[in-house]
Structure formats: structure tokens, C-alpha cells
Structure 1
Amino acid sequence: MSLIKRNQGFVPSLTDYFENLMGRNIFDMESGLKASLPACNVKETDKTFEVELAVPGMKKEDFDIHIENNMLSISCEKKEEHTDENRRGRYTRREFSYSSFRRTFSLPASADADKIDASYKNGMLDISIKKKEGEANDGAKRIDIH
């Protein structure tokens, strides 16, 4: 294994293909999921729960965020097709791009599902969920022994 990645040019060699294929565990489903799910941070403050997702290259219209049965669901779908309409003849290259994901989070009882804000800026999707007022937010409860 080399720390410096060499320039492969336009066509990677067959050896590189098999090294990349064999370098990962094909039975490890989690490694495949990590590649398709965006990185996510979940943070709790005194008044809110904050969810941050790193999703560069999207538009805010690509996202669908909703709550159902106390579950926060974040999904995104992006389709692109790069073509040159003015060229005559057969295609020698035509590129399609499709990406999607769905992340679902169970909201704690202290989260107020009616007070959620979301923003998308510089490749970061930020979701802020306010906590319910007047409730114990730590979820701790003392059990008396009888």
C-alpha cells in the first residue's frame, strides 16, 4: 500500500481494479452504506437538538424533510444528465448522474416536533429541533424501591 496515489490517467489498470476490489471486505455491508450516506453530527444543547449533514453539491429543492410518528426523516434525490444537444451523430460519451439517500432519526420525548427549522448553506444541511418547554430534558427518572 502506498501513501501517495499515482496518477492513473484515463484508464485504470486491471491490477488497480482488483486491488481496490480486494482491499475491502465484500461481505461488509456497513462499508457500502458509509459510502452512500452523508456524514452526520447530532448535538444536544440546553434548548435544542441540532442535526448537521454534509451534503455538498445539492440544492435545497433536492431535500425532503418530514416527521411522522416521532421520527425525523431526511431524504435527498438528485438526477443529472450531461449532453451536448448541438452535436450530430452518435454518442461517444454521455454521462448520467443519480444520487439519493434517506436518514431517519428517532426524536426524544423532549423534542418539540412543531418547532423545527432547516437551512442549507455551503454544502451543509442544518436542522434545529427545539425542546419542549417545562419538561425535564435529560430523560432521567428516579425509581423508588418498595
Structure 2
Amino acid sequence: MSPLFRSTADFFAELNRMQSMLDRVFPGPGASIRSQADAAFPVLNVGTSPASIEVQALAPGLDPSQLDITVDRGLLVIAGERKSQLPPADERVNVYANERFAGRFRRVVSLPEDADPARVEASYRDGVLRVSVAKRESSLPRRIEVN
């Protein structure tokens, strides 16, 4: 280790400082030298079944009572806030990587035309928010009797 740096922590702190300077000059989705790039939160899985549109939001650490889920004009909006779990900053605590998102978030999913906004169910368990939007009865396949 160079005598310029007293410890590995000092070395990585200097790299992070230089990375921050570069991010100010060249903004964009970047990553710290010791963490991954920011991604949208919560991460979504969206799919369909014959009877519904299914959305799963992978969002551990949320208080379900603080979630705001709305459907309006063909858009499903999932909004809320995730509190930070980091210890308060002081001279004894250094955070080298912070990959866990904290703060307000809002995700918007465009629903297909056959989604029924009057029939939406949501549940939150084990860090996964599940939203199910039923399809309109008129759009579901049905068997036609031949006379």
C-alpha cells in the first residue's frame, strides 16, 4: 500500500471521492467502485394469465400501510417510501457501499385495454407486493353453442 494512504479504507474513500467528481462531470447511470448502479425500485415482474394481469413488486422492508396503489386511465401506479436502515453518520461510521434503495418511489405500469380497473386486489407478504388486475369479462374467451 502506498504511504499516501493510511489504510485500505482511505484508499477506497479516495476512489469514491474521485468517482463522485467524475459523476458530476459526466452524469448518468453509474456505479461506485464498490457497489452496483442504481436501478428502479421496486423491481417489477409483469405478466398475464387468462383471467388477469399480474404484477409482482420485489420490495422488502416496506410498511404495507404506507403503500399507495392506484389505477387510473389504464395506468397502475405503485408509490410509497422506504426508510433508510443506515446508522446515523458520525466519525466512527463509514459507509463504503449503499446498494439498498431508500426514499420515495413511484412505478407506473401501463395496463392493456382489457384490464378491469374496478377489480384490483393487492397483497404484501415476505417482501413481495402482488397486484392482480382482473380482465374484463367481455374480453375473456367463451364457448359459443351451435344450434
TM-score, length of structure 2 as denominator length? 0.63
Aligned to 1:13: 13
Aligned to 1:54: 58
CA distance in 1, matches of 2:64, 2:22: 37
Number of positions where the alignment pairs a residue of Structure 1 with one of Structure 2: 121
- The letter for the 1-side match of 2:70 is H
| 5+ long unaligned stretches in structure 2 | 1-7, 32-36, 92-100, 142-147
CA 1:30/1:111 → structure 2, altered by over 3 Å: closer, same or farther?
Answer: farther
Q: What secondary structure, in the 3-state scheme, does the structure 2 residue paired with 1:56 have?
A: coil
| 5+ long unaligned stretches in structure 1 | 1-7, 84-90, 138-146
CA distance in 2, matches of 1:105, 1:132: 18
Aligned to 2:41: 37
Q: What secondary structure, in the 3-state scheme, does the structure 2 residue paired with 1:77 have?
A: strand
How much has 1:118 moved relative to structure 2? 0.4
Percent identical pairs in the alignment equals 25
CA 1:82/1:54 → structure 2, altered by over 3 Å: closer, same or farther?
Answer: closer
> Given that residues 50 and 140 in structure 2 are in contact (C-alpha distance below 8 angstroms), is that contact kept between their aligned partners in structure 1?
no
- The letter for the 2-side match of 1:47 is A
Aligned to 1:69: 73
Aligned to 2:135: 131
Aligned to 2:28: 28
How much has 1:105 moved relative to structure 2? 1.6
How much has 1:46 moved relative to structure 2? 0.7
- The letter for the 2-side match of 1:13 is A
